[in-house]
Amino acid sequence: MSYRAPVRDMLFVMKELAGIDALAQLPGHEEAGYDTAAAVLEESARFNENVVAPLNQPGDTHPSVFHAGRVTTSPGFKEAFRQFVEGGWQGLQHPVEFGGQGLPKLIHAACAEMLNSANLSFALCPLLTDGAIEALLTAGSHAQQAACIPKMVDGSWTGSMNLTEPQAGSDLSLVRTRAEPQPDGTYKLFGTKIFITYGEHDMADNIVHLVLARVAGAPEGVKGISLFICPKVLADGTRNDVHCVSIEHKLGIRASPTAVLQYGDHGGAVGDLVGQENRGLEYMFVMMNAARYGVGIQGIALAERAYQHAVAYARERVQGRPVDGSLTRAAPIVHHPDVRRMLMRMRAHTEACRALAYVAAAAHDAAHAHADARVRQENQTFYEFLVPLVKGLCTEMALEVASLGVQVHGGMGFIEETGAAQYLRDAKILTIYEGTTAIQANDLVGRKTARDGGATARAIAARIAATVRELEAAGSAASGSMARRLDAGRQALVDVVEYVVREGKERPNAVYAGSVPYLMLAGTVVAGWQMARALLAAEARLAAGDEGAFMRAKVATARFYAEHILVEAPTWRERIVEGAESVTAFELEAF
């Protein structure tokens, strides 16, 4: 089943929910209005449907191969990557002065979604390069930016992110890679990094490894970690002392090479310090936040592809008579209410998460480009609150959607030929890398809620309350149903925010026992809020007499979200506020 980019829905979200027209009023984004977005998305859809998507299943069956220190990527990847960079896609959101196109993150988000729907394994390489560029834009010197960014934008170099070590996964304070200062101002790096995505490959001439390491004598813990640029090939053309010693065999994203990199086995890998010593983790957070957002987009992308696959199968597979007697013979399974329920759940989750992520992207754009410093700050705070939701919710939902996709296929989903199983296998990594769901939830509880005493969360709840009032005033059956569920969700969210703020210091175990449920609650309610806004916009367009089928589908999907997914919000609240005891009461020794 081939992929068809959901351009119509993407443009609807951009226009009605993320405010692309307002974005085009911001300084520097004058060219980035709806028409530009539509043209770019159409072009991106063509490229991804025709060039990248056909490589997805072959990449799964012919993964990257490691031999004698080199990695050969899956068939067709190298050629597709050339076309990708020559088409200007790597530079889409990056500054014009470095060869990019300077388009907003909002437009990039849609293009990244398409690329990831087409081929998650392939898309990881540009995703990490984007993160490396963003980190250098934030913390790199002018010389570092000038040396690396144009090359990464034009695809002659790619980026990689080197955090993880055998003993340092979620906990980066345990990083042991050593950096020794040299008389010429550079450093020599020694250590082992594991799980490095596209840490070695054959698609570009050079790889800019961004590496976390500890300078000799640095303080223990996170305060002693510095960030280094460590290129695979040095400026004089010689090979740096960083070598791939193996790549992993994996459950999913098999075409994406996951490398073990050995630094300094032959005298030390030359590294260039980024910013100041001991502030590496702070800089890396920029890259991680970009990458976390990007992984959330991967979730939406994967869910969309799994949904399309399931719909196609459900229309074809003939099995069982409809229970309402509408046909006297066996019918395509799409007639069965339970199959429709599964397809609706897949669709509603995907559309809601898309809306959540694109609204976050627009906030990011306003946080960077708005002329008013107060508005910039408000948008930055809003965006930062949304990042763990985008990463956590969109990836957990992708796993559920991919699993439903297999279920719709029945036994044919469990075997590999149909491709549905690949989506489920690929989906599982999304809840793990770039910080597991629990790590996102810790961020939400600690940095995003407790630190400001719940102020950001409360401000969002107030905006949701305003939408509830609009829904009540709209007066349709769908808006009434949505109003009730969204308001109940808002109340559940407010209760939990108060609980987190009140109990955080005294009963940390109780609060953190509910951290992932809090993330799921907040994500579901904020995504549901976007579906409520979509419902209002679609009803208004229908009332104005335009675009029947699409808008009717939007209203129906939003209503489903309210009645089947938002309704779960009060249950999440109960788990958090009432259920903490039963998480921690069980004695450790009894496991």
Ligand X SMILES: Cc1cc2nc3c(=O)[nH]c(=O)nc-3n(C[C@H](O)[C@H](O)[C@H](O)COP(=O)(O)OP(=O)(O)OC[C@H]3O[C@@H](n4cnc5c(N)ncnc54)[C@H](O)[C@@H]3O)c2cc1C
The catalytic site residues sit at 434
Q: Rule CB under 6 A: say whether 224 interacts with ligand X.
A: no
Sole window of 163-171, 224-232, 299-307, 336-344 interacting with ligand X (rule: CB under 6 A)? 163-171
Sole window of 2-10, 72-80, 97-105, 428-436 interacting with ligand X (rule: CB under 6 A)? 428-436
Q: Rule CB under 6 A: say whether 195 interacts with ligand X.
A: yes
Q: Rule CB under 6 A: say whether 499 interacts with ligand X.
A: no
Task: Tell me the HSE value of 122 on the side-chain side, using a 13 A CA sphere.
Answer: 34
Task: Name residue 271's amino acid.
Answer: G
Report which of 252, 91, 95, 236 is spatially closest to residue 158, judged by C-alpha positions.
Answer: 91
Among 429, 450, 461, 520, which residue sits at the site for ligand X (rule: CB under 6 A)?
429
Sole window of 135-143, 161-169, 532-540, 557-565 interacting with ligand X (rule: CB under 6 A)? 161-169
Q: Rule CB under 6 A: say whether 510 interacts with ligand X.
A: no
Among 438, 542, 556, 583, which residue sits at the site for ligand X (rule: CB under 6 A)?
438
Q: Rule CB under 6 A: say whether 174 interacts with ligand X.
A: no
Q: In whole angstroms, how far apart are CA 577 and each of 157, 322, 499, 533?
A: 49, 43, 7, 29
Q: Rule CB under 6 A: say whether 431 interacts with ligand X.
A: no
Rounded to 5 degrees, φ, ψ at 130 are -55, -45
**Are residues 215 and 205 in contact, defined by beta-carbon separation less than 8 angstroms?**
no
Among 149, 161, 269, 390, which residue sits at the site for ligand X (rule: CB under 6 A)?
161
Rounded to whole angstroms, the Cα distance separating 253 from 264 reads 29
Rounded to whole angstroms, the Cα distance separating 253 from 428 reads 9
CB of 532 to ligand X, least distance (A): 31
Sole window of 50-58, 379-387, 429-437, 456-464 interacting with ligand X (rule: CB under 6 A)? 429-437
Among 56, 418, 442, 557, which residue sits at the site for ligand X (rule: CB under 6 A)?
442
- The first and second tokens of residue 26, run together, are 């911001």
Among 436, 476, 491, 571, which residue sits at the site for ligand X (rule: CB under 6 A)?
436
**Are residues 141 and 273 in contact, defined by beta-carbon separation less than 8 angstroms?**
no
User: Could you tell me how far CA 61 lies from the centroid of its own chain?
Assistant: 25
For tokens 């149903």, what's the residue? 481
User: Could you tell me how far CA 371 lies from the centroid of its own chain?
Assistant: 28
CB of 290 to ligand X, least distance (A): 13
Rounded to 5 degrees, φ, ψ at 247 are -125, 160
Based on CB atoms, which residue is closest to ligand X, 74 or 197?
Answer: 197
CB of 436 to ligand X, least distance (A): 3
CB of 162 to ligand X, least distance (A): 6
Strands in 403-522 per DSSP E: none
Report which of 565, 403, 360 is spatially closest to residue 481, judged by C-alpha positions.
Answer: 565
CB of 442 to ligand X, least distance (A): 5
Based on CB atoms, which residue is closest to ligand X, 288 or 483?
Answer: 288
Among 162, 395, 403, 467, which residue sits at the site for ligand X (rule: CB under 6 A)?
162
Among 89, 228, 293, 433, which residue sits at the site for ligand X (rule: CB under 6 A)?
433
Based on CB atoms, which residue is closest to ligand X, 39 or 251?
Answer: 251
Q: Rule CB under 6 A: say whether 196 interacts with ligand X.
A: yes
Among 432, 542, 556, 583, which residue sits at the site for ligand X (rule: CB under 6 A)?
432
Q: Rule CB under 6 A: say whether 556 interacts with ligand X.
A: no
- The first and second tokens of residue 496, run together, are 């939990």
Residues 237 to 296: which contact ligand X by CB under 6 A?
250, 258
**Bridge pairing between strands 226-231 and 269-274:** antiparallel
Based on CB atoms, which residue is closest to ligand X, 169 or 320?
Answer: 169
Q: Rule CB under 6 A: say whether 164 interacts with ligand X.
A: yes
- The first and second tokens of residue 337, run together, are 């209410």
Q: DSSP assignment, residue 18?
A: S
Report which of 215, 212, 44, 41 is spatially closest to residue 132, judged by C-alpha positions.
Answer: 212
- The first and second tokens of residue 41, run together, are 């998305």
Based on CB atoms, which residue is closest to ligand X, 190 or 358?
Answer: 190
CB of 432 to ligand X, least distance (A): 6
Residue 213, C-beta contacts closer than 8 angstroms, at least 6 positions apart: 175, 177, 178, 179, 187, 189, 191, 225, 226, 228, 271, 280
Sole window of 135-143, 178-186, 194-202, 449-457 interacting with ligand X (rule: CB under 6 A)? 194-202
Q: Rule CB under 6 A: say whether 163 interacts with ligand X.
A: yes
**Bridge pairing between strands 65-67 and 178-181:** unpaired
* Helices of type H across 98-201: 105-118, 120-139, 142-153
Name the residues that contact ligand X, by CB under 6 A.
Answer: 161-164, 169-170, 195-197, 250, 258, 429, 432-436, 438-439, 442
